[in-house]
Structure 1
Amino acid sequence: MNKKWWQQAVIYQIYPKSFMDSNGDGIGDLPGIISKLTYLKKLGVDALWLSPVYQSPQVDNGYDIADYRHIDPMFGTDEDMYRLISLAHAQGLKIVMDLVANHTSDQSVWFQESRKSRDNYFSDFYIWRDAKSDGSEPNNWGSNFGGSAWEWEPQRQQYYLHYYAKQQPDLNWENLRVRQYIFDMMRFWKAKGVDGWRMDVITSISKDQRFQDNPNPFKQTYVTGNQDNGPRMHEFIHDINREVLSPFEMMSVGESPSSTSFDARKFVDPDREELDMVFTFEHMHVDRKPHGRNGRWDLQPLDLVALKQILSSWQTNLWQHGWNALYFENHDRARVTSRWGNDQQYRYESATAFATVLHGLQGTPFIYQGEEIGMTNPNFEINDYEDIELLTNYREIVQEKQTMTKAEFLAAAHKISRDNARTPMQWAPTSNAGFSSGHPWFKLNPDYTTVNVQNDQSNERSVFAYYQKLIELRHRSQILVAGTYQLNCPKNTRIFEYERIYQGVKWTIIANLSNDELSISTYFPNKKYHKFILKNYKDRKDLECNLRPWESFIIEQEI
């Protein structure tokens, strides 16, 4: 099989600010990452994806970039980044950087010049529109972080567009110079040794130039929902591929929030020459109430039937038409063990059960820092949170609109807030979880005294050791890379079971995603199997006893 490196790889995402602090200032940094390369190599991963480390005012934790070609001093020096790339390569680890090309920081020199006038070189680098006759915004578009997507600029006497914070103005991809500047920046990092790109909200780069109001069924002042899949999106992404990705053989995974498995083909089918993979949000919305007026904060219990249907659709519809990117956690997603599992009585079991489900699928698995030790969500108070999205949404939903109570919003935040994944990495049961000798930039999860790398690696029920085995399976078992996929028991509300088949071998992957004990004969009536490939209850010897809570295993069976 002629596979690309990323098709047999497992990629580990690092959120640098919270990974490892080397100098005691309370902020994770590049030398801190370098100090943990041996740990990452021991885990067995193949590549490291770094969330942004470029120069930034940190309004949105680095996703507001002021200078794409230089490292923010909080993370180290430019030379530290070059050294990280070199040392990672020496360990056999590839480096994937975060490309944030939908917007920049308002502190970027591009925007600082653009805001000055309507007729300078950078004037058209961003999206400017005149006010309506009454002085109000050009349309009703809303920001993902709350309020209007338009901000008035007194110097130009115009509004500029920002899909996120007002300090994150959207770039104007209709301007060829903008595209060329982005391509050149990507080539710069390729020359430094970077192997690939994760592309932040890449499906937002094309805007509908009619700038019409969004539909407004709830009669809101500002409405989100017209921010993906603009008319020139595929053209622009193909340009990125033609100019940078293909000639320099750089791996790409694009954030595509609204993609289904059907329209994802347009991104990842190799014949179209766009992206290698996309991150969809579709499967991460199965605990969101449909059409809730409070958006992502209106929650419902996990709909496992929907989760299975969505993940299965991606497995079948991309089969021989592209490649999957597999994830449950990242810097924008809460800890799956707390969100959908049982992080109290069955933390190890539910962490490993979800890992089994994910890593058994076809595609490239992504592990988010701390996922490999079963880190959990902290139950913070509102004042403990840092995330600009949460704080602006809280102000709008609870304090202004009053469509949720503080208690309701906090309960949702405990499940899905982005900050759940951004607490410092828990290395040891010592001061500051071994993350820093200084005061951490963000509050630690109080459970760090029990949930940490040191404890986990010495524990007989080690989540880390389980992930090592999953990664080893990915590397040596072609059935996970090339095998067909078949979902079993699609309507079962507690069991996720599927088969992978390749060259006459069948693996059955099963996970009991509930607190209940279930009859095993329902799923294995003849109880025939060849061998256990992996199991999270070590005393499982055969298929006789019931499935225990959050039990998962992979077995090889006769076809």
Structure 2
Amino acid sequence: MTATSNHDWWRGGVIYQVYPRSFADSNGDGIGDLPGITARLEHIARLGADAVWLSPFFTSPQKDFGYDVSDYRGVDPMFGQLADFDALVARAHALGLKVMIDQVLSHTSDQHAWFGESRASRDNPKADWYVWADAKHDGTPPNNWLSVFGGSAWQWDTRRCQYYLHNFLASQPDLNVLNPAVQDALLGEMRFWLDRGVDGYRLDAINFCCHDAQLRDNPGRGAPAHVDPTAPAANPYSWQVHEFDKSRPEALAFLRRLRALVDAYPGTAMVGEIGDERGLALMAAYTGGGDKLHMAYCFDLLGPQYDAGYLHALLAQSLDTLGDGWPCWAISNHDSVRVATRWGGARPDPALLRQAAALLLTLRGSACLYQGEELGLPEADIAFDDLQDPYGIAMWPEFKGRDGCRTPMAWQADAPDLGFGSGAARPWLPLAAGHRALAADRQWADDGALLHHYRRLLQWRRAQPALRQGSMALLPRQGQVLAFERAHAGQRLLCVFNLGAQSARFALPGEGWTPDAGAPAQPPGLRSGQGALLLPPHGTAFLTLPSQT
């Protein structure tokens, strides 16, 4: 039985994220597409992932690169046709991969037919399908809510002579998910793809789906010491406590409706994105009880901090908070600076990148890998004139946007366009010269490359019940050494990480621990003795005890 044949494949599963624009271009127009993804699925299967998550490929004006949907049931022509999607699903399933697709439920494009009808008048059948509000007496917006992308979250509409809410771009009006008719319509759009064979959903910005019906002002707090993880420090979005515009308790009833729909399709699952400074608490609320989301991720490992103090506190909080909820950890994605640069700097230590992979894949929960993470691709440096991301253009130069992690995938070191396409057209984002030496073909040919480290970790993880399903107990921190125990059905596995740039000594918790001979992350010459373990800089060790059964 393969890991993907189990209805609970998601519990402890590993999901590989594909950003379609930048994965593989099959027709030479400079933009990745569905046939290109299909042709490269073997890379993901060979790596050892359980599922592939496709960022949006739906019909869209592409103001936010597909996260502004104008037709939930259509494939945007730049990516192909419905038949291309069906072929992708068939090929993925033949390779043993599940297919999860992005679903944007909090907002649509302003070019969606629903919004066109809603904005036409105040009394049409869809008048209440979006969040509309009258201006204040002085003509200003109804409250102080801010957009993640800068400025007010309210846009004046001359047709209705009202403001509409947009948590992101003004061209991304927020759906009124408090309206049962809107929920019914969204469930219908999701059912369309479930009937077409998808194995689940990644739910974009799911904590933004509901708002306070009274439209109360958010409390202010001034320039904070720690910014909201959904916004950079240059954005005043963090100057508010987002009590009323997102992360509302009203969302839980909607999540239960989503779960009831997905449960009618055995073997499917949902992972939600939670952008909030209270990420772990919301993960617990959204995934606990077995009647809402299967799993969720927040931004706590998508920031710049990578040290034992921060990670120990984060993991302790997660163990205290999550209960029976289920996390899905990620250290990179299409919205964050690539982890090689974010944690490793301009010249990342290869040992640090190997350790980051081992840490991600041994935490309690599921895991997401972002395309190119397995290659150790660094953040690309994009000139202002080449920027595509409206967020980066608006916030330049203090925040350069998200284009640096979205450049084309490096497939072939010697190809002019790194094997991304045919080279007939300029790629939509510039190729990163620093990616050439890290291309997939060179790493597949080098057994010592980071790619094979990921492959061996995934192969090993799949065979460890303690990692996929087990409990987790955090040990006291010893300087820059982080350690925790994973256990399940008599198997006990001790995971030890020296997060410092100097060698470190770790006192073992008791007798009998021995290095796991099958673990791929052990540093050369790992030594233990007199109840202690000696670890090199950024060294990782996995130790076992004899079975307790």
Please report the TM-score for the alignment, with normalisation by the length of structure 2: 0.89
Quote the Cα distance in structure 1 between the aligned partners of 2:511 and 2:387.
Answer: 52
- The Cα offsets for residues 277-316 of structure 1, whole Å up to 9 and x where unpaired, read as 111123435x4xxxxxxxxxxxxx6454122221343245
Aligned twin of 2:402: 418
Aligned twin of 2:359: 357
Contact 1:105–1:169 (CA under 8 A) maintained in structure 2: yes
Identity among equivalent positions (%) equals: 35
Aligned twin of 2:517: 532
Quote the Cα distance in structure 1 between the aligned partners of 2:285 and 2:328.
Answer: 15
Deviation for aligned residue 1:160: 0.5
Quote the Cα distance in structure 1 between the aligned partners of 2:340 and 2:236.
Answer: 37
Aligned twin of 1:266: 285
Helix, strand or coil at the partner of 2:352: helix
Deviation for aligned residue 1:506: 2.5
- Structure 2 residue corresponding to 1:337, chosen from 337, 340, 364: 340
Contact 1:309–1:490 (CA under 8 A) maintained in structure 2: no
Matched AA of 1:282: D
Matched AA of 2:535: L
Question: Using a 3 Å threshold, how does the CA distance of structure 1 residues 37 and 345 change in structure 2: closer, same or farther?
Answer: closer
Deviation for aligned residue 1:170: 0.1
Quote the Cα distance in structure 2 between the aligned partners of 1:342 and 1:453.
Answer: 22
Aligned twin of 2:71: 67
Quote the Cα distance in structure 2 between the aligned partners of 1:81 and 1:328.
Answer: 28
Deviation for aligned residue 1:178: 1.0
1:485 aligns with 2:472: yes
Quote the Cα distance in structure 2 between the aligned partners of 1:530 and 1:217.
Answer: 50
Helix, strand or coil at the partner of 2:486: strand
Quote the Cα distance in structure 1 between the aligned partners of 2:306 and 2:523.
Answer: 27
- Structure 2 residue corresponding to 1:468, chosen from 452, 455, 458: 455
Question: Using a 3 Å threshold, how does the CA distance of structure 1 residues 519 and 230 change in structure 2: closer, same or farther?
Answer: closer
Quote the Cα distance in structure 2 between the aligned partners of 1:351 and 1:524.
Answer: 27
Helix, strand or coil at the partner of 2:302: helix
Matched AA of 2:362: G
Deviation for aligned residue 1:543: 3.2
Aligned twin of 2:231: none
Question: Using a 3 Å threshold, how does the CA distance of structure 1 residues 553 and 142 change in structure 2: closer, same or farther?
Answer: same
Contact 2:150–2:236 (CA under 8 A) maintained in structure 1: no
Aligned twin of 1:384: 386
Aligned twin of 2:228: none
Deviation for aligned residue 1:464: 1.3
Quote the Cα distance in structure 2 between the aligned partners of 1:549 and 1:541.
Answer: 12
1:257 aligns with 2:275: yes
Question: Using a 3 Å threshold, how does the CA distance of structure 1 residues 304 and 419 change in structure 2: closer, same or farther?
Answer: farther
Aligned twin of 1:517: 502
1:105 aligns with 2:109: yes
Quote the Cα distance in structure 1 between the aligned partners of 2:359 and 2:72.
Answer: 37
Helix, strand or coil at the partner of 2:543: strand
- The Cα offsets for residues 74-110 of structure 1, whole Å up to 9 and x where unpaired, read as 1011110111112211222111011101000001011
Deviation for aligned residue 1:114: 1.4
Deviation for aligned residue 1:528: 5.1
Aligned twin of 1:298: none
Deviation for aligned residue 1:487: 2.0
- Structure 2 residue corresponding to 1:246, chosen from 252, 258, 263: 263
1:309 aligns with 2:313: yes
Quote the Cα distance in structure 2 between the aligned partners of 1:531 and 1:303.
Answer: 25
- Structure 2 residue corresponding to 1:43, chosen from 44, 47, 54: 47
Quote the Cα distance in structure 1 between the aligned partners of 2:336 and 2:525.
Answer: 32
Contact 1:533–1:556 (CA under 8 A) maintained in structure 2: no
- Structure 1 residue corresponding to 2:157, chosen from 148, 153, 158: 153
Deviation for aligned residue 1:393: 2.6
Moved more, 47-56 or 324-333: 324-333
Quote the Cα distance in structure 2 between the aligned partners of 1:535 and 1:525.
Answer: 24
Aligned twin of 1:131: 135
Contact 1:283–1:311 (CA under 8 A) maintained in structure 2: no
- The Cα offsets for residues 391-440 of structure 1, whole Å up to 9 and x where unpaired, read as 2233xxxxxxxxxxx4xx26xx4xxx532321111111121111122311
Contact 1:143–1:165 (CA under 8 A) maintained in structure 2: yes
Question: Using a 3 Å threshold, how does the CA distance of structure 1 residues 521 and 511 change in structure 2: closer, same or farther?
Answer: closer
- The Cα offsets for residues 51-86 of structure 1, whole Å up to 9 and x where unpaired, read as 000001111111000000000011011110111112
Matched AA of 1:484: S
Quote the Cα distance in structure 2 between the aligned partners of 1:338 and 1:386.
Answer: 21
Contact 1:8–1:474 (CA under 8 A) maintained in structure 2: no
Question: Using a 3 Å threshold, how does the CA distance of structure 1 residues 420 and 491 change in structure 2: closer, same or farther?
Answer: farther
Question: Using a 3 Å threshold, how does the CA distance of structure 1 residues 449 and 482 change in structure 2: closer, same or farther?
Answer: closer
Matched AA of 1:498: F
Contact 1:533–1:553 (CA under 8 A) maintained in structure 2: no
Q: More helix by proportion, 1 or 2?
A: 1
Question: Using a 3 Å threshold, how does the CA distance of structure 1 residues 3 and 114 change in structure 2: closer, same or farther?
Answer: closer
Helix, strand or coil at the partner of 2:363: coil
Contact 2:457–2:520 (CA under 8 A) maintained in structure 1: no
Deviation for aligned residue 1:6: 1.0
Deviation for aligned residue 1:358: 1.0
Aligned twin of 1:78: 82
Quote the Cα distance in structure 1 between the aligned partners of 2:280 and 2:484.
Answer: 18
Contact 1:532–1:556 (CA under 8 A) maintained in structure 2: no
Helix, strand or coil at the partner of 1:365: strand
Question: Using a 3 Å threshold, how does the CA distance of structure 1 residues 385 and 118 change in structure 2: closer, same or farther?
Answer: same
Unaligned runs of 5+ in 2: 224-234
RMSD (Å) for aligned C-alpha atoms: 2.5
Aligned residues: 521
